[in-house]
Copies of this chain bind each other. A is one copy, B any other.
């Protein structure tokens, strides 16, 4: 699969695909006889994975570092542990965002009442429960 097809399949620009490869998010892609990139299905899977993590807000730099560390460890359990840590970090961010959504919901529900004090805004924001 050439770069144009991958670009369309995954919705990532060709420039970005080349950029990701250059900075080390992708291992060097195999080339065909003309020197054109020829992506394997494993490459596609990997790019899919990278895209998910980029969309979730992980920086390119920290992803590169993660990949290097991940590759250094042939220890299976260690690798699994790294995935778990990565997942938990995203989960933490998720909860931060949930706070903001709850805060907005609080504002909506109290829209007709008077202006909130700073302390109440803070409480609404920090609130653990989901508000609908």
- Give the interface of A toward B (CB within 8 A): 41-42, 44-45, 48-49, 52-53, 55-57, 76, 79-80, 83-84, 86-87, 90-91, 93-94, 96-101, 103-105, 107-108, 111-112, 115-118, 121-122, 125
Contact = CB atoms under 8 A, between A and B. Distances in A.
B104 A87 contact: yes
A41 B116 CA distance: 10
11 contacts: A45-B121, A52-B103, A52-B104, A52-B125, A56-B100, A56-B101, A76-B111, A83-B111, A84-B108, A86-B104, A91-B101
Contacts of A115: 42, 45
B57 A97 contact: yes
A94 B98 CA distance: 7
Given A45-B116, A94-B98, A97-B56, A87 B105 contact: yes
B94 A107 contact: no
Name, among A97, A115, A117, the residue most crowded by chain B CB atoms within 10 Å (CB to CB).
Answer: A97
Name which of A52, A80, A105 has the most chain B CB atoms within 10 A of its CB. A52
A83 B104 contact: yes
